[in-house]
Copies of this chain bind each other. A is one copy, B any other.
Amino acid sequence: MRFTSEQRLDDGVLEREFTLGEIPGILWTPGSASASAPAPLILLGHPGGLNKMYPRLVGRARHSAAEGFASATIELPGGGDRPRSAAAEQARADLRRALEAGEPVSEDIVDRLVLPLVEKAVPEWQTTLDALLSLPEIGGPIGYSGGVIAIGVRLAVVEPRVAAAVLFAGSFVPRVMFEEARQVTIPLHVLLQWDDEGNDRQLALDLFDAFGSKEKTLNANMGGHTGVPQFAGEAAARFFTRHLS
């Protein structure tokens, strides 16, 4: 991991851009984080396109820093300036075509779109975790927060260092991943935007039902895909405070 820039935000949060091989990422640590008091870490998921997502990501990171948490994110495979795969581009084009035609999105399209992304992204998150945990100012436990929800599900199953997750039910989930959802046992806080037109509400409810976790909360609100109310963000933050502090 190589840090490429560093700036101190006005609330004392240290923001550092890094690259991990070809993967760009950002790490935010609270002003209070030090080698003697390493901060728990929240991995910030997003739909890809770090630059576009930056304003919302830094907002979430600053909020978490106020609770004493470090946050980190990396660009998704095929996101931002990272190389695109022809298969993923084809799946994305097929998805766009289906949506524009008002057709239901077939399971085949979802599988082709999401499964390769999960296969590639999860090991990258794990490598990132290795690198971040080698820093003295970062400690455990680890949380995952956000979308792509299928990436969060896979991480929750295969990565024992992830102790709790806030999952944003706002993206397509391959049906085959329901089996994996049953294997999730960590505490979950699932955010669902009830009237998110681009999201399959019933599928999100089925997925919530499938999770094997003894503690799982579904927090559904109004306001569309990007309109998560402030109080719902605060409830998600409290979930992490409960489980990672």
Give A contacts to B, CB under 8 Å.
192, 194, 205, 208-209, 213-222, 229, 231-232, 235, 238-239, 242
A235-B235, A242-B231 known; A216 vs B205 contact (CB < 8 Å): no
**Of B218, B220, B238, which contacts A231 at CB under 8 A?**
B238
Q: How far is the CA of A47 from the CA of B213 in the complex (A)?
A: 30
Question: Is chain A's binding surface mostly helix, strand, loop or mixed?
Answer: mixed
A205-B205, A209-B194 known; A221 vs B216 contact (CB < 8 Å): yes
Which of chain B's residues have a CB closer than 8 A to the CB of A213? 222
Q: Are B217 and A220 in contact, CB atoms less than 8 angstroms apart?
A: yes
A112 nearest CB across to chain B (Å): 30
**Apart from A214-B222, A217-B232, A218-B219, 6 more pairs, CB < 8 Å:** A192-B218, A194-B208, A194-B209, A215-B229, A217-B219, A231-B242
Q: How far is the CA of A209 from the CA of B201 in the complex (A)?
A: 11
Q: Are A208 and B220 in contact, CB atoms less than 8 angstroms apart?
A: yes
Of chain B, the residue at the smallest CB distance from A239 is: B231
Q: Which of A208, A213, A215 has the most CB of B within 10 A?
A: A215
Q: How far is the CA of A2 from the CA of B44 in the complex (A)?
A: 57
Which of chain B's residues have a CB closer than 8 A to the CB of A238? 231, 235
A224 nearest CB across to chain B (Å): 12
A205-B205, A235-B235, A238-B231 known; A194 vs B218 contact (CB < 8 Å): yes
Which of chain B's residues have a CB closer than 8 A to the CB of A194? 208-209, 216, 218
Q: How far is the CA of A217 from the CA of B190 in the complex (A)?
A: 13
A235 nearest CB across to chain B (Å): 6
